[in-house]
Structure 1
Amino acid sequence: MNFSRAAKAFGVPASSISRRIADLETALGVELLHRTTRTVRLTEVGALYLEQVRAGMALLHDAEELVGQRSSAPSGTLRISAMPSYGQLLLMPALQDFSERYPDIVLDVQLSDALVDLGRDQIDIAIRGGSQPQDRVVARRLDPNRFVLAASPQYLAQMGTPRTLDELTQHRALMYRGPNALIKWQGLDQDGWHEVPITPAFISNDGASLIAMACKHRGLVLLSEWGLQDYLRRGELVQLTLEQPLSVGRGGESGIYLLYLQTRYQIPKVRVAVQFLVERLAAGMTGQRDEPGNRGSR
């Protein structure tokens, strides 16, 4: 907590900031900040109060932005967060066309696997993979996010083609590192889902790097079909089908979702971006549009 920095931002003495906070604590009848001679930090109730105030300020900001843009062309800064591989391969080409159509919208794109809180992190649109979100967001399903096992023809000629989960242990794996841990491969047999004990030959949090290593005949890769489709079509990689299911999760519906807050959808820049991206990206690999049944809101 830095009173001096806050005072500088508002152009007032630091003592004024301290007095205003003390006045607020008196009005509320609670201690918002715990003060010592060396530190100032939020109390537990102070942290809860700040969270609620931030939510209210965000709604006020949205309302002002909505009124300001009501009768004008979509404009302003649009903040988008997306998974790196999906962002590079599919989102960025779509955004290039979006920028041509809406030149007054400034795109601020963050490529990261880290989870985001749309309200707290001031993100207008997020694209994430996994199960359908259960929190207070609208989730538009863009892709089923089916995982595919693949390798180069040269690698398979040298090492053989695995047909079962057990045979995978004789092969080299090119594995993805998520934001918190290595993403393990999961197989399904008669005893249920279990981790496949395969030895990594290369690990990266960049899907493009994993694909490049696979094309260099360094091992097997297990990635989303949308990331591999061009390489499979050109024959640089070959899709493998095992006798038992293999994925990076233990069953359940998965997908790539476009996420946004319903309260921000009425803002022109957000509305046109959601409509454009769903139309472009939900076509996916099958050429079919996202159906209403694939959409969820919370």
Structure 2
Amino acid sequence: MDVHSLTLLVEILDAGNLSEAARRLKMSRANVSYHLINLEKSIGLQLVRRTTRRVEPTEIGLKLYEHGRTIQNALLAANESVSTLGQSLQGRVRLSVPSGYGQIVMSDWLIEFRRQYPGIVLDVIFENRVEDLLRDEVDIAVRVMSDPPQNLVARDLGPVRYVACASSAYAEQHGMPVRLEDLRTAPLITSAVVGRQLRVAAYLHDDRHEVLLEPGLISENFLFLRKAILAALGVGIVPDYVVQEDIIRGDVVTALDQWRLSIFGTHMYMLYMPNRHHTRATLTFIEFMLDKAHSAGRR
């Protein structure tokens, strides 16, 4: 068994199937399959289970994968140390962030990071789809959730606090919700998951309640939702950072402040793969973001 064989096994299992592994390795599928079969023959054990769509490791395959990943990461780190010797920090970080949090909270942090580290390329995607977390071209994903996946490293960026709010003009003309149940009939402005019934979880001390919502205006774009709230179209249920400045100015007022509201999750997490090699650029970015979240009081 050689290093090349181990790293080939890592690439196959990371890709999930032989065709994708062949594409990444710029080899033919038959060639990848040939090398895998030879590796299994040399060991005398089956390393992966093949289905029509995926390959999954056997117990011994998983152990060899972990060794191969460690070796691959060490080689990548050694190559990076040599190639960047005497140079300023360089590299590329591909980041996936929620549209609202990314634009309203993180954009200034990202600009500051780019100024501080001009040699690092930031490739930022603004999206909200959770199923994209494990896409291989993304180094780091920032997402709202209550319980992060066990197979990912989750760094806490702080709590997400939802508020029930409306413009001062709307509150003066229509009044604000007084009871939690009033949210059922109020003209609501919020975000939702397509095809899923929207519920707001509300916590008061140790008591948890749920209320089904029927919003009149729905969007994943929180900047648009903020405009709709300021236009007095109804009562918004949005994260506090969306309308924080408007509340300070008095343009927006809140209701049900005794309740802790949540729709998609209670915390913002920075997520990344535990066994993937992280470049100096990526590690520097992670620590920079954690420090900014701490300084902003979000951690």
CA distance in 2, matches of 1:173, 1:122: 37
Contact 1:33 1:40 (C-alpha < 8 Å) held by counterparts: no
Q: Deviations over 1:204-239 (max 9, x none)?
A: 222222222212222211222122112223333212
How far apart are the structure 1 equivalents of 2:146 and 2:173?
37
Among 240, 245, 249, the alignment partner of 1:234 is: 249
3-state SS in 1 of match to 2:295: coil
Is 1:137 the counterpart of 2:150? The answer is no
Q: Does 1:103 align with 2:118?
A: yes
> In structure 2, what residue type is equivalent to 1:211?
R
Q: State whether residues 62 and 264 of structure 1, in contact with CA within 8 Å, keep that contact through their aligned partners in structure 2.
A: no
Retained in 2: the 8 A contact 1:175–1:183? no
Residues 255-282 of structure 1, C-alpha deviation per residue, up to 9 Å, x if partnerless? 3344557888984323432343334343
2:267 is the counterpart of 1:255: yes
Residues 115-130 of structure 1 correspond to what in structure 2 (within 5 A)? 115=130, 121=136, 123-130=138-145
**Do structure 1's residue 245 and structure 2's residue 259 form an aligned pair?**
yes
1:9-158 counterparts in 2 under 5 A?
10=26, 15-28=30-43, 29-30=45-46, 32=48, 34=50, 41-42=54-55, 45=58, 49=62, 52=66, 55-56=69-70, 57-58=72-73, 60-69=75-84, 71-115=86-130, 121=136, 123-131=138-146, 133=148, 135=150, 137=153, 139=155, 141-158=156-173
Aligned length: 279
Structure 1 residue 154: deviation in Å? 2.3
Q: Match of 2:286?
A: 274
Match of 1:32, as an amino acid? V
Structure 2: how far apart are the matches of 1:190 and 1:118? 33
Check the 8 A contact 2:161/2:239 in 1, yes or no: yes
Query: What is the CA–CA distance in structure 2 between the aligned matches of 1:61 and 1:91, rounded to whole Å?
Result: 29
Ranges in structure 1 where 5+ consecutive residues have no aligned partner: none
Kept after mapping to 2: 8 A contact 1:66/1:267:
no
Counterpart selection for 1:161 from 162, 176, 194: 176
Are residues 2 and 159 of structure 1, via their aligned partners in 2, closer, same or farther at CA, if it must alter by over 3 Å? Answer: same
**Cα shift readout 1:150-196 (whole Å, capped 9, x = no counterpart):** 11122223322221113333311123224884552123469942221
Q: Cα distance, 1:51 vs. partner?
A: 6.5
- How far 1:203 moved relative to its partner? 1.8
Unaligned runs of 5+ in 2: 1-16
Deviation at 1:5, TM superposition (A): 8.6
Q: Tell me how far apart the structure 2 counterparts of residues 177 and 213 of structure 1 sit (CA, whole Å).
A: 15
1:186 to 1:19, Cα distance in 2 relative to 1, 3 A: closer
Give yes or no for contact 1:82–1:113 (8 Å, CA) kept in 2.
yes
- Normalised to the residue count of structure 1, the TM-score between the two structures is 0.73
- 1:19-56 residue CA offsets vs partner (Å, 9 max, x unmatched): 32321232342273648xxx675366399659658844
CA contact (8 A) 1:83 1:112 kept: yes
Distance 1:217 1:119, change over 3 A: closer
- CA distance change for structure 1 residues 47 and 176 in 2, over 3 Å: closer, same or farther? farther
